[in-house]
Every structure is written in structure tokens, then in C-alpha cells.
Structure 1
Amino acid sequence: MKKVTTLALIFAALILSATAQATVISLDAYLGSDWKATVTPESFDNTCYPCASNIFATGSTWESANSGWNSSASYDDSSWSAYSGGLPAGALTPFYARQVFNIGGTPNYGTFSIGVDDDSLVWVNGILVPGLIDNNGGNSGVQTADITSYLVSGDNVIAFKAHNSAGGGFGVYGLTGSVTYEANAVPEPTTLMLLSLSIAGIVFNRRKKV
């Protein structure tokens, strides 16, 4: 019983001495992050006026054929272009952008902001974020929302669709955000050494008594 108690105390000390570090992931496209973007065969000249299709309807054929573009980290986006904000080449509408990022621990907090003239939809791990739905057919300014509840440990996908639904110009701005998480606790080297010595001592004493 005494040996079991000793081992329990050692492992408790190991847990208490483990260090957890707060880590921040930037979702800001203007800081050279891993955003990628694409336009589709359904995309068209953004200077139309007025543009008849709203953001929910346009691009639906491509979206149906590309399941996972806004939800799967393993979706093949190798043909997509690097994206650092603004409009992709050609400035066609709609266009799609996504980023895969890894949370190596427990998510604490996440936020994302986007402004599109005219409309946008944002998904985190395939879930449409209600606070980031812009379907007003005009410039509504920057939308900001808490995305914490949509985050998971491991790979995450944030994606958006931007569309010029009212005509007269097209722009994306205010594309910023961040995720904060607690990294998995890692025992310090001295703790591991003490644990090893303690276990070795217990084993030695046990053999000596036998």
C-alpha cells in the first residue's frame, strides 16, 4: 500500500509540474498566413449591375461537386492560389478562400472579422457562423464573431465565400482574426529525471527486501 501511495504522489507531482503554454494562431490573411483562394467555372465578371444572384444561390453547382471545401482539412486545394487578402486574379465573383490550421491543445478563444462589398458567408469546420452571414446586397462593413465554439483540437478549417451581389464594384477587407489555445502540457526535463530516479529507487528497494 505504501509503494502505491508513493507512486501516486510521484505522478501527481509530475502532473502539477507539467507546463502549459498559451499559443496564438493568426488568421489574418495580410500577414502571410496559409490562406488559399479559387474562382470557379460559375464565377463571372464582378462589374455586373445589378447582379441577380444572391450569395446563397450562386456557385451552388460547384459547391455540390466539391464537398469538403469548407469543412475537410484533407480536401485537395493544391490547385488553389495563395491568398493574402483583396481579390484573387481576375476579380471574378463569387470566389472561395480557405485556411487549414492545427490546434495542438485545448482551444481557449477564437475570433474572426471580415468585410465584403457586397456579401460573404464564413464556415468553421463546415459550420456556417451565424454572426458572419452578410446577405444584404451592399457594403455592410466589417462583421466580427466569436468562433470559439466551432474549434476543435487538431486540424481546423476556416473558409469563406465572397460575392458581388449588388454590382458596382467588389472588395474584401478587414480579413483578420486569431485563435488562442493552451498547448498540451509537457513535463519539464527535471521532472522526468526525478520520476525516473524515484521509480528506480522503488524497484531497487523492492528487490533488496526480496
Structure 2
Amino acid sequence: MTSPPKSSNTVWHHATVTRQRRAELNHHQSVLLWFTGLSGSGKSTLAHALEERLYQMSYRTFVLDGDNVRHGLSGDLGFSNEDRIENIRRISEVANLFVEAGVIVLTAFISPFQADREKARNLVGKDFVEIYCHCSVEICEERDVKGLYQKARAGEIKYFTGISSPYEEPIDAELVIETGNRTVDECVDQILEFLIQRGVYQHKPF
């Protein structure tokens, strides 16, 4: 479901190459895997590890990573609540296009607000899969090689999620991954098994 344009002079063009035809070509369905969690909870690490496994299975994938997106698409945004909301809105729209293009798209963003994640879910519909990377603040802080948590506690970083800005835990995530006490491979296996059950692709050994 897309948002109506502000201009009345735009018309939606329907392509002859449909999403279903792309799925038949790719030998898998498209889906949006929305990784959410605190900074340091393993979102990017897990998303890229999962993509590698899917790529080795010859599937079409792409990771939209939080830091990478802020070098381009959201390069004009900061980290205020308003900017975070706009960042997630842009990502949702881009991810939805990837899904329509037949890709298994993985997004790795803190996306701290439940309302924003729900907007993304409503936009994409049944092919939105929320994956909560559950990890305590203490473990996330131990993993923080950039020293961001330390700076946030010292007041050097404003709007830092989990310290000076809230994180609203998912209420109805399709998957909860215990990234604080499981290996990356174990987490990837859990998601792959879910994708088989979901019918995204047929079972292959991994």
C-alpha cells in the first residue's frame, strides 16, 4: 500500500513484469526482514551473515544498513526524534520497492519507535517480518567498540537510544532472536528455518 501523491498529475503505471514473475525467475518469494534492536545488539552483523548464507544459495538479496543509508539517502538527517521518524519512513518506502522487485531485503536499523515500525508493516503488508534482536544494554555496551555508550552516558551524544532516548520493544515481532547469548550461526539458522516455514523458499541444506 503506497501513500497518495501530493500532485494530482501523477498516474501509477502497472508493469508487465510482475512480482510473481520475478519470484518464478528467482525461485524464491520476496520478503522484508526488518531487524530492530539496540545499538550493539547485532542487527547489522546478523543481517549481513544471513545475506551471505542466502547468497550462497543463489537467492537475490540486499541489506539496507543504518550507517550506510546515512551516507546517502538520509545524509541530511540527524538523530532527533523527528529525523529518526523521517529516516524510517524513507527506508520503508525503499524497502517496499525492493520487495516489489522480487528481492529478499534485510534492513538493519534501531528503529526505536513502535509506531514507525507499524507504519512500515502497514506499507509492506503480509511480507513484513519484524526480527527483534534481543540483547541487554549491558552486553550491547560491552560490544561497543566505538565507545558510543560511554559518550552518551557522559552527555556527549544526544538522543542515544537506550540511554538518553527510549527504545520501544516490539510487541508482536514474528521472530525474537537472543543475540546476547547465541552465536551468529545459531541466529542465522533460526531465521532460515523460519523462512522455510514461511514459504519464502524451499528447503536446502545449510
TM over 0.5: no
More helix per residue: 1 or 2? 2
TM-score (norm 2): 0.23
More strand per residue: 1 or 2? 1
